Amino acid sequence: MAKLELVIAGHKRSSDRLATSLYPSISDTEQSFQFESNEQTISVLDHAGVEGFTKRLTDRVAGLSTAILATDDNHGLDQLCLQHAFLLTLCGINELIIVVTGLKDTHKAEEAFSTIKSKSALLGWPKVTAVAIGSRGLEPPAWFDGPELTATLRHIQLADFPIDVPLRMPIRRTESDKSLYSGHILTGLIEMGDTLLFSPSNQTARVVALNAIDENESLNSAEAGREVTITLDSDLEFGNAELASHVDNPPLETDVFRARIAGFSSEVLNVDTGYSFYRFGHVIPVSIQSVERVTDDIGLDNIFDATIRASEIIALDPFEICKPTGSLILNDGENFIGAGQINMRGYADQRDLITVRSTNVVRVEHSVTDKHRAKRNGHRGGVLWLTGLSGAGKSTIAIEVEKRLFAAGYQAYVLDGDNVRHGLNSNLGFSPEDRAENIRRVGEVGALFAGAGFITITAFISPYRSDRERARTALPDGFHEVYVKADLEACEKRDPKGLYKKARAGEIPEFTGISAPYEVPKDPELTIDTSDSSVDECAQKLIEHIEHHFVLHDK
C-alpha cells in the first residue's frame, strides 16, 4: 500500500511554525502524523528552505500529489516560493496548499493575505487552496473565513499514479545478484511475461519473475508507485541510468534536448560550461549549448530556454508526455542552479538513427585494398563534409572543387542535398527525425564512396552536431568537417534559391537560421569564410586542404 505523503516547501520559519503545531511530538527524522477522523497516516516531508528542498526532490520526482507551500505576510509569494512551486509542478503535484503563517488580526495582514491569494490564482496551478494561520497554534486570524488547515489536510488523497500511460522505470542493478534488476515504477504497469525494452542500451528481455522489493511476495503485475525487483530471461549489459519501458511505447533517445529552466539565482546559465543533470540517483554530465532568457508574467525572472548537450545518448521524454522522465534538475558541482521541463522542439529522437551493426552480417574482405586504390588514384578516399547555412556557398564550392579535382585526374564526386532527396532519400520528409535520417544515410553513402577511393564532397546544411558526429563515426578515418561560414545577413542577401524570402513570409516552417537553429561546428578540420572571399579563393582553400591531407605525394 502506497503511503500518503505531504511535502512542505517554502520558507523554513513558516514551516517550523507549522511543525510545532501540526506534529509537535514527532522527531525530526520521522515526521509523520495521524488524523483521528479518518485514520489516514500522512508522512510529512518537510523540505522548506532552499538546499534541502532541491536535493530531496532530485530523487522524488513522482508519487506526490499534495504539497504545502509555507510562507508569511512578509515574504508573500517571493522568488523562493515560486521556485519551489515550479519544482513541485515538475514532480507532478496536482494540489498546492498555500499556508500563510503568523497573520495578525489587522487589516494590513488581511490585505497581505489577499494579495498572495490573488497572485496564486495567476500561476496556473491545477488546484490551489490558500489558508491563513494566526500567531498562536493553528488558529486562523479573526478576519479569515476560509477553510481550516486540518480540515483541508483531511481531504488530501493518495498520489494519482497514472497506469494507463507508458511504462517508465529507472533500473538499479542489485549488487548481490546481478540477474536481479530493481526500481521504482514511475508510470505505467509491468506484468509478468512482459517484454521490456531498456534504454539507452536498446536491449530487450522478458520478465520471468516480479517481486515487491521489501517483501518476498511475488506479483503478477505491479503498477506505478511500487518498488519492485524483476528477474529477466537474459543477462543484460548496461551502465547506469537505464530506463525500462515497453517495446511499443519507448522513451526518446538523444544526446541533445531543450528545456525551459527556472534558474535558482540571478546568474545566467553559462554556455559551454559543464553541469550535472541529476536523474534518478545518477549524475549525467551535460553542457549548455545555447541559452536565452525568457520573460514571463508571473514574476519568475530567471526563466531560460536552453539547448543542452550530454556527452552520451540518454533516454528521456518530453515533459508533457511523462513528467518524471521529462524533468531536469541541474547542479554546477556545488549548488543546484535550476530545474526545468524538457522538450524536443526541432530536435530528433535519435533512437532509430543509431546504426545497429548487425552481428549476423559478416563484412566481405576486398582483395583490392584501400592502399591499392590510393596507389592507383594518387590519393586516398575520404569525405569532405561541407556544413553551413543555406546560401553559405556549400554547393557552389563543392561543384567548383569537383571540377578542378576531376581535371587534375582525381576521383571526386559531390553528394548534394537536393540530388539525394530525389532518389535514395525520396521517402523522407522534413520532420526532425527524417532530416536526421537523411544525414545518417548520406554519412553512410559518403563512407562507401570513400571506400571506393573517391574524394567525396558532401553539401548539406546538416545543422545539428549530433548528426555530423554520427556521419563521422561512419568513417572514423578520413572524415573532414568543413565549416562553410557566412553570416545570416550575407546568406539572406544572396538567397540563391529564394528560400529566405519564403521563410520570412512564413512559408517554410523550421528554416535553419531563421526559425530553427544552426549549431556551429566546434572543431572543424577546416573553416572557409565565404563572406569576404571569392568563389575562386574559397575553392582553392579546399583544394589545398585536400592536397595536404588526401593526395599522396610519394607516388
Q: Counting contacts by CB under 6 A, is residue 421 touching ligand ADP?
A: no
State how far Cα 256 lies from the chain centre. Answer: 7
Shortest Cβ 227–ligand ADP spacing (Å) = 54
Of the pair 63, 388, the CB lying nearest ligand ADP is at 388
Which amino acid type is present at position 554?
D
CA dihedral (293, 346, 168, 240) in degrees, to 10, reads: -80
Nearer to ligand ADP, 55 or 404 (CB): 404
Q: Is 73 helix (H, G, I), strand (E, B) or coil?
A: coil
x-marked contacts with ligand ADP along 488-527 as a string, rule CB under 6 A: ------x-x-------------------------------
> Which of 538, 542, 546, 551 is in the footprint of ligand ADP by CB under 6 A?
538
- Residues β-bridged to residue 379: 551
Span interacting with ligand ADP, options 184-192, 193-201, 230-238, 391-399, rule CB under 6 A: 391-399
**522: which 3 cell numbers?**
566546434
**What's the min distance (Å) between Cβ of 406 and ligand ADP?**
18
Q: Which stretch binds ligand ADP (CB under 6 A): 219-227, 290-298, 390-398, 470-478?
A: 390-398
Tell which one of 530, 541, 542, 546 touches ligand ADP (CB under 6 A): 530
Q: Which of 21, 182, 265, 533 binds ligand ADP (CB under 6 A)?
A: 533
Q: Decide: is 535 part of the binding site for ligand ADP (CB under 6 A).
A: yes
How far is the C-alpha of 100 from the C-alpha of 87, rounded, in Å?
A: 19
Active site residue 221: no
Full 3-state SS string of 421-449: HHCCCCCCCCCHHHHHHHHHHHHHHHHHH
| Residue closest to ligand ADP, measured at CB | 393
Contact 528, 398 (CB under 8 A): no
One-character DSSP codes across 177-243: -TTEEEEE--BSEEETT-EEEEETTTEEEEEEEEEESSS--B-SEEETT-EEEEEESS-----SS-E
**Rg of the chain taking only CA atoms, in angstroms:** 29
Side-chain half-sphere exposure of 361, counting CA atoms within 13 A: 4
Task: Tell me the backbone φ, ψ of residue 66, rounded to 5 degrees.
Answer: -130, 145
Among 15, 302, 390, 462, binds ligand ADP (CB under 6 A): 390
Which of 297, 532 has the CB closer to ligand ADP?
532
**In angstroms, how far is the first alpha carbon of the chain from the final one?**
78
Region binding ligand ADP by CB under 6 A among candidate stretches 3-11, 57-65, 82-90, 532-540: 532-540
Closest approach of ligand ADP to the CB of residue 389, in Å? 7
Number of residues engaging ligand ADP in binding (CB under 6 A):
18
Give Dmax over CA atoms of the chain in angstroms. Answer: 98
By the rule CB under 6 A, 391 interacts with ligand ADP:
yes
Considering only 91, 313, 397, 436, the residue that binds ligand ADP (CB under 6 A) is 397
Query: Closer to ligand ADP at the Cβ: 11 or 394?
Result: 394
Return the number of the residue (289 or 458) whose C-beta is nearest ligand ADP.
458
Tell me the closest approach of the beta carbon of residue 399 to ligand ADP, in angstroms: 8
Binding part of the chain for ligand ADP, among 25-33, 125-133, 439-447, 530-538 by CB under 6 A, reads 530-538
- Using CB under 6 A as the binding rule, whether residue 394 contacts ligand ADP is answered as yes
Assign residue 504 a region: left if phi > 0, alpha if psi is -120 to 50, beta otherwise?
Answer: alpha
Q: φ and ψ at 421, to 5 degrees?
A: -70, -20
Contact at 8 Å (CB) between 291 and 273? no
Which CB, 52 or 496, lies closer to ligand ADP?
496
Q: How far is the CB of 376 from ligand ADP (least distance, A)?
A: 31
Q: How far apart are CA 307 and CA 254, in angstroms?
A: 12
Residue 395 interacts with ligand ADP (CB under 6 A): yes or no: yes
Write the burial class of residue 440 (CB in 10 Å: 0-12 exposed, 13-18 middle, 19+ buried).
buried
* Between 392 and 420, CB nearer to ligand ADP: 392
Catalytic residue among 199, 462, 515, 533: 462
Given 166, 382, 388, 453, the residue binding ligand ADP (CB under 6 A): 388
Q: Which is nearer to ligand ADP, 392 or 455 (CB)?
A: 392
Q: Single out the residue of 142, 236, 245, 231 nearest to residue 189, CA to CA.
A: 245
Total Cβ atoms within 10 A of residue 472: 17
Catalytic residues: 462
List residues near ligand ADP by CB under 6 A: 388, 390-397, 459, 484, 494, 496, 530, 533-535, 538
